[in-house]
Amino acid sequence: MLSLLISPSIDQEEEEGLFLFVASDLHHQHRQQRRQPPLKMRQLLISCAELVSQSDFPAAIRLLSILSSSSSPSGDSIERLVYQFVKALSLRVNRLHHHHHHHGLAGSSLMRMMNDINFPITSTAGPVNYDIDPSLQSCYLSLNQITPFIRFAHLTANQAILEAIQVGQQCIHIIDFDIMHGVQWPPLMQALAERSANTHHPPPMLRITGTGHDLNILHRTGDRLFKFAQSLGLRFEFHPLLVLNEDPTWIATNFTSMVTILPDEALAVNCMLYLQRLLKDDSRDIRLFLHHIKALNPTVVTVAEREANHNHPLFLQRFVEALDYYTAIFDSLEATLPPNSRERLAVEQIWFGREIVDIVAAEGENRRERHERLETWEVILRSSGFINVPLSPFAHSQAKLLLRLHYPSEGYQLQIVNNCFFLGWQNRPLFSVSSWR
């Protein structure tokens, strides 16, 4: 089997008295010892989220003020995690207090209390701006380099595609939803070229349709991929597809009319951390989208998603799930990167911080991070006509080798459950990859 590893890449009180006791106790301990036990910080954050869910904003703000004194964007993993969740809770309080003037404090008094928290509040309502910008693009590249999660997803999906495409197939078409910089594809290109050389078949024609939000980025991605394909002797076409409207109904009804599928090509559909974007308050739209994808008769559909339920309609349950999930993420970064890593700070504050703010502070149509566990995706995919394709032992070996060579920490755990791969930290699965047809 061909290896996809070695290849170039493109660059969370029942009584007021109890609350005050806990807060005072935390403040005293903070003066004595900077680092707080994780379980205590976890419970205080959850208590604060409970106060917010009960619209007890004055009590929540007092607790947020104390929690903020135990947080830092550049401290240890606990302090950094608390910083992000206090920021997100502050934004949620700021957004909600305009609708709750009956709680006993005038709006101006409430805002003066908010100003005591060490976070500038610049927006009072509305969605978080998720437009793709240079800082997010740069963070994505850093995320790809300093954590194994994206590379694991790319590597495993590529192996599934490689094994689904028959040797000798002369035309391969990959539809990549939100291709970004296209860093997934050079290793697959190299593997295709090597397989052709080893089997004495002519190199296949590779067509990639990449969707994105920025036409300039799409063109630059296509140019890089074209040059790399040329260096391997691969015939290559890149088709940029600008998708500004991520409404799943629009995508489902318009996408197939914008993509040309040739009768003799093998089609692979790649959904890396993408399907959750199409989820709304029910799964009707995502099922419509998958119905249209199934109608294209793809040879393989690869799916990678975060292994978390951040789509729960109840704020408090969503908050607890996010707190536990990102605790594991921040712990893994703490264990594998030096304290002064600029890349880690940027990834935590811009990439993961953006996700935490959306999950905690946004609501309704404004909430975009709607991660679901694989068991939910299995139900949706099967009901849309897809069947699971087992990932191979070789894909498992490659994923283990990736971890051993590039991220040599015993904390990363690789599991196979129901023919799907899971990568996590300690005993917490964080990302899943599955293959379907």
Per-residue 3-state assignment (H helix, E strand, C coil) for 419-436: CEEEEEECCEEEEEEEEE
Q: What percentage of the chain carries pLDDT values higher than 90? A: 66
Number of Cβ within 10 Å of residue 187's Cβ equals 23
**Whole-angstrom Cα distance, residue 358 to residue 311?**
11
Q: What is the pLDDT of residue 22?
A: 40
- At 35, is the pLDDT very low, low, confident or very high (cuts 50, 70, 90)? very low
Could you tell me what percentage of the chain is helix, strand and coil, using 3-state DSSP and rounding each to the nearest 5? 55, 15, 30
- At 419, is the pLDDT very low, low, confident or very high (cuts 50, 70, 90)? very high
Q: What is the pLDDT of residue 250?
A: 75
Q: What is the pLDDT of residue 434?
A: 98
Contact 335, 324 (CB under 8 A): no
Strand partners of residue 403 = none
- At 256, is the pLDDT very low, low, confident or very high (cuts 50, 70, 90)? confident
The enclosing H or E element of 236 equals strand 235-242
Number of Cβ within 10 Å of residue 290's Cβ equals 25
Read off φ and ψ for residue 398, nearest 5 degrees.
-65, -40
Question: Of the ranges 22-36, 197-211, 370-384, which one carries the lowest mean pLDDT score?
Answer: 22-36
Contact 64, 89 (CB under 8 A): yes
User: Could you tell me how far CA 154 lies from the centroid of its own chain?
Assistant: 13
- At 321, is the pLDDT very low, low, confident or very high (cuts 50, 70, 90)? very high
- State the average pLDDT over residues 113-119: 55
Read off φ and ψ for residue 389, nearest 5 degrees.
-105, 120
Whether residue 37 is predicted with pLDDT greater than 60 in this model: the reply is: no
Whether residue 253 is predicted with pLDDT greater than 90 in this model: the reply is: no
- State the average pLDDT over residues 97-104: 57
- At 97, is the pLDDT very low, low, confident or very high (cuts 50, 70, 90)? confident
Question: Of the ranges 21-30, 172-181, 329-338, which one carries the lowest mean pLDDT score?
Answer: 21-30
- At 135, is the pLDDT very low, low, confident or very high (cuts 50, 70, 90)? confident
Whether residue 346 is predicted with pLDDT greater than 70 in this model: the reply is: yes
- State the average pLDDT over residues 172-196: 96
- State the average pLDDT over residues 66-84: 92
**Whole-angstrom Cα distance, residue 345 to residue 340?**
8
Q: Domains plus CATH for the chain?
A: 16-133+311-366 (no CATH), 148-308+370-436 (3.40.50.150)
- State the average pLDDT over residues 413-436: 96
- At 2, is the pLDDT very low, low, confident or very high (cuts 50, 70, 90)? low
CA angle 156–166–196, rounded 5-degree value = 90
Top-confidence range, 26-35, 115-124, 249-258, 272-281: 272-281
Whether residue 92 is predicted with pLDDT greater than 50 in this model: the reply is: yes
Residue with tokens 């970064």: 333
- State the average pLDDT over residues 262-274: 96
Strand 388-389 and strand 428-436: pairing? antiparallel
436 vs 37 pLDDT, higher one:
436
Question: Of the ranges 10-19, 177-186, 255-264, which one carries the lowest mean pLDDT score?
Answer: 10-19
Whether residue 245 is predicted with pLDDT greater than 80 in this model: the reply is: no
**Verdict on whether the full-model pTM lies above 0.75:** yes
DSSP annotation of 37: P
Q: What is the pLDDT of residue 360?
A: 97
Q: What is the pLDDT of residue 117?
A: 58
- State the average pLDDT over residues 277-294: 88
Whether residue 344 is predicted with pLDDT greater than 80 in this model: the reply is: yes
Whether residue 125 is predicted with pLDDT greater than 90 in this model: the reply is: no
- How high is the mean pLDDT of the chain? 85
The pairs formed by 379-384 with CB atoms below 8 angstroms and a separation of 24 or more are: 380/283, 380/286, 380/287, 380/290, 381/290, 381/303, 381/436, 383/287, 384/287, 384/290, 384/291, 384/294
Question: Of the ranges 11-15, 58-62, 207-211, 219-223, which one carries the lowest mean pLDDT score?
Answer: 11-15
- State the average pLDDT over residues 17-40: 46
Question: Of the ranges 60-69, 335-344, 378-387, 415-424, which one carries the lowest mean pLDDT score?
Answer: 335-344
Question: Of the ranges 10-14, 94-98, 189-193, 364-368, which one carries the lowest mean pLDDT score?
Answer: 10-14
Question: Of the ranges 92-96, 130-134, 231-235, 367-371, which one carries the lowest mean pLDDT score?
Answer: 130-134
Q: What is the pLDDT of residue 3?
A: 66
Angle between helices 57-69 and 16-32 (to 10 degrees): 10
Contact 138, 146 (CB under 8 A): no
- State the average pLDDT over residues 415-437: 96
Q: How distant, in Å, are the alpha carbons of 84, 207, 351, 357 from that of 262? A: 47, 10, 37, 43
